[in-house]
């Protein structure tokens, strides 16, 4: 539990005239007396609360009754922005270490992250909402050791592949994810702004002490691709539909190859097609998923 939640409780107890102590705080949240005392010190030193210990009540009060706690809570979206910026500032490199390092540390503390390394005068970084979203998904996959199905666009065209993300980093004012490629057995960098979409799978991977990814657990992708026949809402200009190989089948239909059915279903939910003819099992799976979504919208789940 966040120490901010404990501090808020402690503040409310003071305002209610209960004179809370470190023992009360420790008992309420099942933490050690030492941790409780650190929370109280943080309230007094970092949040500048006018705390005073009142011996008669064996607890704390406020010397100045007008003191108000600063805004302690933030939304998950705000935390995502702070985590994104903390990493950007933490990996920014110049010759003077103090300024950016302090900013990275401060942002990281607010976002619940560890202090990063950084240097230089304070730069400006654009907090692009799309990059923040992608960064958050990749951070989750890295933490949970889950493989990711990427739809990626590069100078050589667009493609899809399964990778094992191992680290987020910034280089030359661009954001990257270092990810292990299963089929090539090596790690490469992917620019976040070149990722069209991604799907975090349920397949797990492990990393050894050398930083390699020795094996991936769970169901592997199909050796032979599945093929879906779709009528699209417009004629394709190339040989791919959102990174999936596509071949004309007449009357506006295309045969589209895919390996990961969950990732393909995710793409289908984004639209861009008019009719799904086959395979039957894919239609059933998509119908069931849409039914679950409708139940959630109606509050039935």
The domain locations on the chain are: 3-62, 75-127, 129-217, 226-297
> For the segment 19-39, what is each residue's pLDDT rounded down to a tens digit?
999 999 999 998 999 999 989
The predicted model gives 229-235 an average pLDDT of: 89
Tell me which of 64-78, 86-100, 222-236 is least confident.
86-100
pLDDT class of 61 with cuts at 50, 70, 90: very high
Strand order in the sheet with 215-217: 186-191, 174-181, 157-171, 146-154, 195-206, 215-217
CATH of domain 3-62: 1.10.10.10
Give the model's pLDDT for residue 171.
67
List, as own/partner pairs, every contact residues 86-90 make where C-beta atoms lie below 8 angstroms and the sequence separation is at least 24, other chains included. Answer: 86/111, 86/113, 86/116, 87/113, 87/116, 87/135, 87/168, 87/169, 87/170, 88/125, 88/170, 88/175, 89/116, 89/118, 89/123, 89/125, 90/115, 90/116, 90/117, 90/118
Angle ∠(150,152,155) on CA atoms, nearest 5: 160
pLDDT class of 57 with cuts at 50, 70, 90: very high
**CATH value of 129-217 in 3.40.50, 2.40.160, 1.10.3930, 2.30.30:** 2.30.30
Q: Is the pLDDT of residue 268 over 60?
A: yes
Give the model's pLDDT for residue 58.
92
Parallel, antiparallel, or unpaired for β 186-191 and 273-278?
unpaired
The percent of residues in the chain predicted with pLDDT above 90, rounded, is: 15
Give the model's pLDDT for residue 220.
55
Give the model's pLDDT for residue 150.
86
Measured CA to CA, the distance from residue 203 to residue 277 in angstroms comes to: 29
> For the segment 117-173, what is each residue's pLDDT rounded down to a tens digit?
343 334 444 556 777 778 888 888 888 888 888 888 877 777 888 888 888 877 656
Q: Is the pLDDT of residue 83 over 70?
A: no
Check: CB of residue 129 under 8 Å from CB of residue 141. Answer: no
The predicted model gives 209-230 an average pLDDT of: 67
Mean pLDDT across the chain: 76
Check: CB of residue 232 under 8 Å from CB of residue 254. Answer: yes
DSSP lists the bridge partners of residue 204 as 146, 217
């Amino acid at each position: 539990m966040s120490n901010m939640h404990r501090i808020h409780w402690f503040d409310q107890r003071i305002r209610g005239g209960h004179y809370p102590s470190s023992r009360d705080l420790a008992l309420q949240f099942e933490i050690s007396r030492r941790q409780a005392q650190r929370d109280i010190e943080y309230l007094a030193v970092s949040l500048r609360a006018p705390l005073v210990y009142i011996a008669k009540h064996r607890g704390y009060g406020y010397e100045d009754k007008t003191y108000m706690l600063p805004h302690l809570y933030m939304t998950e979206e705000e935390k995502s922005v702070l985590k994104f910026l903390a990493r950007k500032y933490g990996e920014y490199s110049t010759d003077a270490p103090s300024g950016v390092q302090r900013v990275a540390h401060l942002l990281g503390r607010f976002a619940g992250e560890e202090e990063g390394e950084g240097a230089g005068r304070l730069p400006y970084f654009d907090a692009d909402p799309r990059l923040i979203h992608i960064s958050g998904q990749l951070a989750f996959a890295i933490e949970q050791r889950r493989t990711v199905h990427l739809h990626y666009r590069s100078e050589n065209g667009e493609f899809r592949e399964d990778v094992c993300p191992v680290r987020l980093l910034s280089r030359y004012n661009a954001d990257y994810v270092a990810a292990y490629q299963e089929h090539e057995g090596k790690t490469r960098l992917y620019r976040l702004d070149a990722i069209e979409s991604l799907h975090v799978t349920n397949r797990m991977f492990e990393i050894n002490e050398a930083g390699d990814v020795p094996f991936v657990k769970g169901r592997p992708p199909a050796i032979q691709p599945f093929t879906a026949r779709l009528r699209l809402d417009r004629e394709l200009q190339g040989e791919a539909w959102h990174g999936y190989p596509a071949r004309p089948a007449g009357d506006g239909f295309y045969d589209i190859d895919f390996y990961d059915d969950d990732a393909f279903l995710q793409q289908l939910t984004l639209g861009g097609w008019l009719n799904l003819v086959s395979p039957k099992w894919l239609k059933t799976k998509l119908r069931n998923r849409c039914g679950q979504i409708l139940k959630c919208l109606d509050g039935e789940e």
